[in-house]
Chains A and B, each alone.
Chain A
Amino acid sequence: MSFLEVRGVSVTFGGLSALKRVSFSLGENEIVGLIGPNGAGKTTLFNCLSGFQAPDEGSMLFGGAPLEARAPYQIAALGVARTFQTSRVFKRMTVLEHVLIGRYRHQRAGLWGAVARPRWVADEERAARERGLATLALFEDRLLPRINDFADSLSYANRRRLEIARALVSEPRLLLLDEPTAGMNPHETAGIVTLIQAIRGMGITVFLIEHDMKVIMNASDRIIVLDHGEKIAEGQPSAIRANEDVVQAYMGRRGDRA
């Protein structure tokens, strides 16, 4: 069985179908790109996979566990982490607190643990802090010198990095990245490509939405193309680049041009 198996997932908003019977699978430790013109349903698909949108039909199996009836926090607990298209950092929390939140699912302290603070809670906090700092170190000197700063004092690019760090520190098995390089300059973008490769090196499967074709072609093992909610192509970057349907989806059909 594959690592993630999506079968016939459909979502409609009012009369509009955002996803039409989309099926695909992801293998363990792959980097798969998800592309398509605006409104193709890419983010809707991510919302389904992370529990924010219940599909009208279809099934999603992650390591054998069905995702469609689970709440976002339950899906996170299975090891699926995500970032958002528009950055969703906790503005008035520090950088360090972000990565501690990322460790949430690995910690156990409830109300009594918090108040009584027995040794195991102290150990758990120390471990979370160490792990968090180690994850921040992946971003070199971008985030580490700012661990006590609020996220809203960070630059745009650093907020995006922080969001990736928060997802990464939870040790996901599947990481959904929604346009991680949006708004970044070419140099910063190149850094993200390197990072995605490094994330795969940790044994994490990466599913990536990206508008920057250079990123998607360089980083992905395989690409899935959506257009108007339908999967129109799937294959290796070189095959996708040559695919007539994909070119048409992006450029419009010959006859469409005025």
Chain B
Amino acid sequence: MALHEFVPGRANRRVWLSLLVAAVLLPAVVRSEYLLNTAVLAGIYIILTSSLNITNGYTGLFSFGHAAFYGIGAYTAAILATRLGAGFWLTLPMAGLVAALFGAALAVPTLRLSGIFLALVTIGFQEIAFLVTLNWIGLTRGPMGIPGVPPPGLFGFELRGNTGYYYLVLALDVLTLFVLSRVVTSRVGRAFIAIREDELAAQASGIPTFRMKVLAFVIATFFAGLAGAVFAHHARFVSADSFRLDETFVILTMLIVGGMGSFLGPIIGAVALVILPEASRFLAEYRGVVYGLILIGVILFRPEGVAGVPGIIQPRGLLARRPAPPGGEEPAR
């Protein structure tokens, strides 16, 4: 079974269960707070990357605005928690819903666009979200950010240590991956992929493509919002700087390195690219160079990423490989 087919299901239940058991046991093995903190970060990026994969990977809608929705979720949670004293279990779904609402509001007028035009609009939205956050001081405290977001409470206990956060993020990862795996293996997910592969043929097959594209956007932004809430309650502080275009590129890079349009890809990409900068600290100022080289290497030698769908990214120009010979006619029998 190729890596890109590796979606949680009956056939590979054991593998995914063992991965889960390993993840559950991790804090017992890793005692370093620093490493656990890195793991929490990886967990947040798994949600972000997997959700971006729904639009960019499965549906073929190139969105460059994921960090904006991540930020909308984080600010929603921070504002609700600090102004209204809302607890994490309320701010979490609210962050998802508000982000999804913005997602739908952006999707409905813009999803008639495709390709580079959609990418530009989402970059524009990303910048607008940043500027509004920075300037709407009454709501967001502008450049000062919002400090003092309380930690999540669980059965009357406050979740403070990294172990607690780790299990919280792990639970959310399991939830996210469960939901997304069900989506991508369903009638809905097939419609997403069909739209990516050939929108006209998808329409001719009875798929309401516009509605399905909006749905893909709403799903992706909802989970970005959830990740935002986790970030806000974990960092205890939100600021507009955390959700700029470069953050979108971090998520996008994880997705591309891991592999678009595959279920495992974003998980691999998120974990690898969170660990890599930490593991290469000894390289000091050359870290960025190594990171860049790895990226270029992936694009050059495996454009679909570690676990992506072969052929999903087709390099053009100098990077193009020789085209495969066209499928020949069958011999007559």
A residues neighboring B (CB under 8 Å) = 50-52, 71-73, 76-77, 81-82, 84, 88-93, 97, 100-102, 104-105, 107, 109-111, 113-115, 117, 121, 124-125, 152-159, 166-167, 170, 183-188
CB-CB < 8 A to B241: which residues of A? Answer: none
Q: Across the interface, do A114 and B186 meet the contact criterion of CB distance under 8 Å? A: yes
For window 302-333 of B, CB contacts with A under 8 Å fall at 309-312, 326-330, 332-333
CB-CB < 8 A to B311: which residues of A? Answer: 91-92, 152
- Partner-binding segment picked from B16-24, B198-206, B267-275: B198-206
Chain B residue with Cβ nearest A124: B187
Q: Across the interface, do B201 and A88 meet the contact criterion of CB distance under 8 Å? A: yes
Q: Across the interface, do A115 and B183 meet the contact criterion of CB distance under 8 Å? A: yes
Q: Across the interface, do B197 and A91 meet the contact criterion of CB distance under 8 Å? A: yes
Asked if B67 is an interface residue, CB under 8 A from chain A, the answer is no
- Whole-angstrom distance from the CB of A83 to the nearest CB of chain B? 8
Nearest 4 interchain pairs by C-beta:
A114-B186, A76-B206, A90-B197, A105-B206
- Given A52-B200, A76-B205, A184-B329, 19 more A-B residue pairs with CB atoms under 8 Å apart are A50-B204, A73-B207, A77-B206, A82-B204, A84-B204, A88-B204, A89-B198, A101-B202, A105-B205, A105-B206, A111-B215, A117-B182, A121-B186, A152-B327, A155-B327, A158-B327, A159-B327, A187-B332, A187-B333
Q: Across the interface, do A72 and B182 meet the contact criterion of CB distance under 8 Å? A: no
CB-CB < 8 A to A188: which residues of B? Answer: 329-330, 332
Asked if B190 is an interface residue, CB under 8 A from chain A, the answer is yes
- Whole-angstrom distance from the CB of A81 to the nearest CB of chain B? 7
Q: Across the interface, do B190 and A97 meet the contact criterion of CB distance under 8 Å? A: yes
Q: Which of these, B191, B215, B219, contacts A104 with CB under 8 Å?
A: B191
Chain A residue with Cβ nearest B205: A101
Q: Across the interface, do A183 and B186 meet the contact criterion of CB distance under 8 Å? A: no
CB-CB < 8 A to A166: which residues of B? Answer: 205
Central interface residue in B187, B215, B327, by most chain A CB within 10 Å? B187
**How would residues 188 to 226 of chain B score, 1 for a CB under 8 Å from any chain A CB and 0 otherwise?**
111101100110111111111100000100010000000
